[in-house]
Structure 1
Amino acid sequence: MIRVLLVDDDALTLELHRSYVERLDGFEVTGECTGARAAITALVDRGDDFDLVLLDMTMPDGTGVDVLRHLRARGSRVDVVAITGVREADVVRQMVGLGVAQYLVKPFAFALFRERMEQYRAFRQRADETAGSATQAEIDALLGALRPSAVVPLPKGLSAATLTRITEDVRAHGPVSAVEAAERLGMSRVSARRYLEHLAEVGAVARSPRYGAPGRPESEYAWRAGP
């Protein structure tokens, strides 16, 4: 299990992120902090209890940058995912320089959170499997595990924003039919089917016939598990 420390000064955000982590296989929340000083204390005193920190950037008694600088100065190698509303490029550069594994900007849907956590889990698995001197291919695979999936050019007439909505709907409710997705998202069945068929063509979803209703079998689409 990947043991997670949650750090955020907002109680509702802590509750939300706890619920997100609890929905993931292979992750468990082993600590929560509501401030920068508390986070530093927990990681200094109980560092062996945590593998990953979900770290807020803005707290009343310090910033996420402060926390991570302090930890790195003490030699801590704990992995960190920044979860914040801060979008300033300078802050992002500082966090990247301090070794964050991911940088998530609030608010975000569970689908995006799950994707980033799956990438992080794949990174840890590859790191554990790589022993001794790594080959260039192994290094590339290790670094690539943390990168977002490559962007596939969309066919003419498809919108990236709508594709994201369809993708999140399949991941949250799948297997789904075009009719079900269209009703939830407030769009036409024909449009929903076009997006679902595109996801099937690029291998993001699996298409299969749905039996049990009168008439011609309807297609349903299920998200493909895995990185």
Structure 2
Amino acid sequence: MKTIQVLLVEDDPMVREVNRQFIERVDGFEVIDMAPNGIKGIEKIKELSPDLVLMDIFMPEQDGVESLRQIRHQNLEVDCITVTAANDVQTIQQILHLGVYDYIMKPFTFERMEQTLLNYRLFKEKMGAVEEVNQQELDEMMGQTKQANSEPESVQPFSQELPKGFNRATLAKVLQYLKQSNNGASADDVAAGIGVARVTARRYLDYMEKNQMIHVDIQYGSVGRPVNQYFFEE
């Protein structure tokens, strides 16, 4: 299959560069251009006809939701993946209604990005090789079986046992953040990293530590109170 050409639409220059490096580490993908907002992104889609757009949501001048609406309204033939910190249900529903291939939440690991791109490439290869498919073949192409069990294994046993007020998605995000934090993370680090209040992060961390999903190390500095540093339990 030919190289998949990607347009990256992201307003933060540092995030754009990190995303570009992640994408180009995956064989068969090339970032052909970048845009700082949705207006420029739409212009470049029309000019360059990329195969795939990676779209941020929170951008100046024109955000990702409106940009996706315009892509669909104008029948622009391009696939879209959102890469965003937006985690509220209303925004997620809006984006999914607009037909994105995947929704990646910041912060994320290279492995999460890689898996999405590999799945997308496989989907395009299979779709390009046949004229008709049955339900099982379509499910396999779209990764339905895999998605049904896509949560981290350490989270799955707690699917029916979370305390009142806890959310499995938030639990998974805390766990994923700790997995990519080689030196551990404090409650403040986790709160800032996944976009929740410190008290919320602390509740999840305490719960996970009690259930032996993570472990805690009390670190003493030269000044001030000791800090709990949390680590993923291998």
Query: Any conservation in 2 of the 1:119–1:146 contact (CA below 8 Å)?
Result: no
TM score, norm. by length of structure 2: 0.63
- The residue identity in structure 2 corresponding to 1:109 is T
Shift of 1:139: 1.8
Shift of 1:77: 2.6
Shift of 1:129: 2.2
Query: Any conservation in 2 of the 1:102–1:146 contact (CA below 8 Å)?
Result: no
Match status 1:136 vs 2:125: no
Please, which runs of 5 or more residues in structure 2 have no aligned partner? 158-171, 183-215, 218-232
Identical-residue share of aligned pairs (%): 30
- The residue identity in structure 2 corresponding to 1:138 is E
- Residues 93 and 122 of structure 1: is their aligned pair in 2 closer, same or farther, counting only changes over 3 Å? same
Q: Considering only aligned residues, what root-mean-square deviation do their CA atoms show, in Å?
A: 3.3
Match of 2:39 among 37, 40, 49: 37
Query: Any conservation in 1 of the 2:38–2:63 contact (CA below 8 Å)?
Result: yes
- Residues 104 and 153 of structure 1: is their aligned pair in 2 closer, same or farther, counting only changes over 3 Å? closer
- The residue identity in structure 2 corresponding to 1:126 is K
Match status 1:51 vs 2:51: yes
- Residues 57 and 163 of structure 1: is their aligned pair in 2 closer, same or farther, counting only changes over 3 Å? closer
Shift of 1:78: 0.6
Please, which runs of 5 or more residues in structure 1 have no aligned partner? 169-185, 188-193, 196-227
Query: Any conservation in 1 of the 2:139–2:145 contact (CA below 8 Å)?
Result: no
User: Who is 2:29 aligned against?
Assistant: 27
- Residues 106 and 90 of structure 1: is their aligned pair in 2 closer, same or farther, counting only changes over 3 Å? same
Shift of 1:113: 1.2
User: Who is 2:99 aligned against?
Assistant: 99
Q: For 2:107, what is the secondary structure of its paired residue? A: coil
Partners of 1:162 and 1:38 in 2: how far apart?
33
Partners of 2:178 and 2:135 in 1: how far apart?
34
Partners of 1:121 and 1:44 in 2: how far apart?
22
- Residues 153 and 27 of structure 1: is their aligned pair in 2 closer, same or farther, counting only changes over 3 Å? closer
Provide runs of 4+ in structure 1 moved above 6 Å.
none
Partners of 1:112 and 1:121 in 2: how far apart?
14
Query: Any conservation in 2 of the 1:69–1:98 contact (CA below 8 Å)?
Result: yes
Q: 1:86-165 maps to which residues of 2 (within 5 A)? A: 86-131=86-131, 133-144=132-143, 148=147, 150=149, 151=151, 153-154=153-154, 161=175, 165=179
Shift of 1:33: 0.3
Q: 1:188-203 maps to which residues of 2 (within 5 A)? A: 195=234
User: Who is 1:11 aligned against?
Assistant: 13
Shift of 1:116: 1.6
- Residues 152 and 32 of structure 1: is their aligned pair in 2 closer, same or farther, counting only changes over 3 Å? closer
